[in-house]
Copies of this chain bind each other. A is one copy, B any other.
Amino acid sequence: MLQHLFTLDDDGTTSLQRQLQRKLIDAILNGYFAAESRMPSSRKLAELLGVSRNTVVAAYEQLIDEGYLLSRERSGIFVSSHVFDEHAESCQNDQLTENQFDWSSVCNPTSIEASSPPYPDNWEDYRYPFIEGQYDQSLFPLNQWRECSRISLNVDEIKSWARDSGYEDDPSLIHEIRTKVLPRRGIQARPEEILVTLGSQQALYLVSRLLMNTSTLLTMEEPGYQGMRQLAQHNLCPVRFAGIEKDGIALADISPQTQLLYVTPSHQVPTAVTMSRDKREALVAQANQDNFIVIEDDYESEANFISNPNPALKSLDSQGRVIYISSFSKALAPGLRLGFMVASPDLIRRARKLRALMLRHPPANNQRIMALFLSLGYYDMTMRRLYQAINERWQELREALNHYLGPYIVTSETMGGSTCWVKGPPGLNSHKFAAAAAEKGILIEPVDRFYGGKEKPDSYFRLGVRSLPKEKIRPGIEELAKLIDDIKADGDPSFGQHLTGEALKRFMADVTFTGHTVFGDPYRITLFADGQMEGVEGHHDEKYDTGTWWLKDNIWYRQWQQWSYGELLGFDIFVTDSRIHWVRNGKLVDAANYTKP
């Protein structure tokens, strides 16, 4: 192998020895000879390269003089370990700037925004990574994946996947997708309506290359998936934005000129809002009427814990104008890059052709493993386990947010998912806040990358629990709350009159508080003179709890059976005409309306 590294040229202009020195230095700096490693003997190198031994000896001596090599008596010549401290950087830079081809002048302009996620590469080293789009080792179906992987390496299996399959996908994976995955979303599809892709991203890329140009109008959600905005930019496709309402995209914002609509109905990216059944039907009707194409990105299809999943838009589409895109990244691991799209055979045929030009087909061994995984029923099992775990974490996150960040934040009503979309207190700069949190080991996501319009609200951020074990959620949010307290400290509002002594006792002996949780669920708490209290929560009073309260040193203490983790907490009480404020250490913890009988 060495002789190929050191192709020497007897061209008369540079001596062989000089050439050899330069190649040796390159090789050392590039790490082919590691620090402290022994160099080949001069005899051996001379033989390999077909030069005289003297040439090699002279080159070695020069490099010893220059400090690249060290000679150790009776043991040979070694690479100096100091080389790397001093030379590596500068030499590589020299190499780069001298007489090099200038690529910037010839490359097509690709106006792509940076798309790196807003958290560091080593997110796993943080104590509380509240991020989305990554993966939890503990939820990976290790044994099942191993088993399928092993089966895929049987001689007969290899035979069927190792060949270049040209345009085609693994027929067994297509079969499993159409019979095991799509029916869960209410979708019936024929094999020629399905294309396997490298994650959702490749499906979106294919669709954008096939359908976008400078005169296509794309409408997408705002805030929305930045990857779609980048694809529109890449294809010089004009974009309009439609707002998000409680039940999904604002239909009125979709102009009749729209030709392409991109939506994320299951859990809107990034707000996690689930599109209602009614809105789904209205959207498909609007698409039929205004003749636009719908790209349905169902990246997280079934992470819907509260009610039955709504059917996919694709299942309501009788005209073949919905392109359904999904992936196995969330169920298994994003690193596998396996996804698929479902659309009319005509579009799939075109996408398949373009895919062949891009890269032929997704790796066939992974297609086969996934097909086996589905056929053995492991996908259903994995989904169940995954959603149970994520659901528990998500509920835990909501409870912790409500408890620790009650008065400061607003978050949307969502139907499950793995994230919460949070509006911080006015004046919060989410980038500064995220940086401060990161210093404490807490990762949260600032969300301005999701905004393509002129306004990028400062105070929103997103919290995800996909990569965080349940037991870390409460302490993580507790620490985050302390941080928000510190930030809030400036500009204290007035809490009204501070109640003490008899006034406090009289007020608390018989009072009802009404308010809303941070998720908008109404609650009602009634205190009785005997120190008992009871509370109901939810639009239909679904939740109920009882607790006790008492006074000591002008502090009002309370403890629920279940709510607020059953924690014993004491507060200073401030009231105005209609509002009560719970205050600890001079800081507002919660507020509600009150009524006296």
Contact = CB atoms under 8 A, between A and B. Distances in A.
Interface of A: 1-5, 7, 9, 26-27, 30-32, 92, 96, 99-101, 103-104, 106-108, 110, 112, 115-117, 121, 124, 133-135, 137, 140, 142, 145-146, 149-150, 153, 155, 158-159, 161-168, 178-179, 183-186, 188-190, 197-199, 201-202, 205, 209-213, 227, 230-231, 234, 259, 281, 293, 308-309, 311, 315-316, 318-321, 329, 332-338, 344-347, 350, 353-354, 356-366
A311 B358 contact: no
A383 to B, nearest CB: 12
19 contacts: A4-B309, A5-B183, A9-B281, A26-B188, A101-B344, A103-B346, A103-B347, A106-B259, A108-B209, A108-B212, A135-B162, A135-B163, A137-B155, A137-B159, A198-B362, A201-B360, A205-B358, A336-B363, A337-B364
Given A4-B185, A99-B318, A336-B364, A158 B179 contact: no
Q: How many copies does the complex hold?
A: 2
B230 A162 contact: no
Given A4-B184, A26-B188, A190-B30, A162 B335 contact: yes
A32 B178 CA distance: 9
A586 to B, nearest CB: 43
Contacts of A162: 135, 137, 140, 332-336
B337 A107 contact: no
Most buried by B among A335, A347, A353, A358: A335
A140 B158 contact: yes
Given A106-B293, A108-B212, A149-B149, 17 more contacts: A1-B184, A5-B186, A7-B311, A30-B178, A101-B319, A107-B350, A108-B213, A116-B166, A162-B333, A198-B359, A201-B357, A234-B357, A336-B363, A336-B365, A337-B363, A337-B364, A363-B363
Contact of A92 (B107, B190, B197, B338): B190
Given A134-B164, A336-B363, A357 B146 contact: no
Given A1-B183, A184-B4, A335 B363 contact: yes
B353 A199 contact: no
B353 A112 contact: yes
A359 B337 contact: yes
A121 B188 CA distance: 28
Nearest to A332: B162
A318 B96 CA distance: 10
Contacts of A101: 293, 319-321, 344
Contacts of A362: 198, 337, 363
Nearest to A205: B358
A357 B115 contact: yes
Contact of A315 (B7, B99, B259): B7
Contacts of A1: 183-184
Nearest to A34: B179
A186 B107 contact: no
Contacts of A183: 1-2, 4-5, 32
A308 B116 CA distance: 44
A104 B346 contact: yes
A186 B5 CA distance: 4
A117 B100 CA distance: 39
Nearest to A170: B335
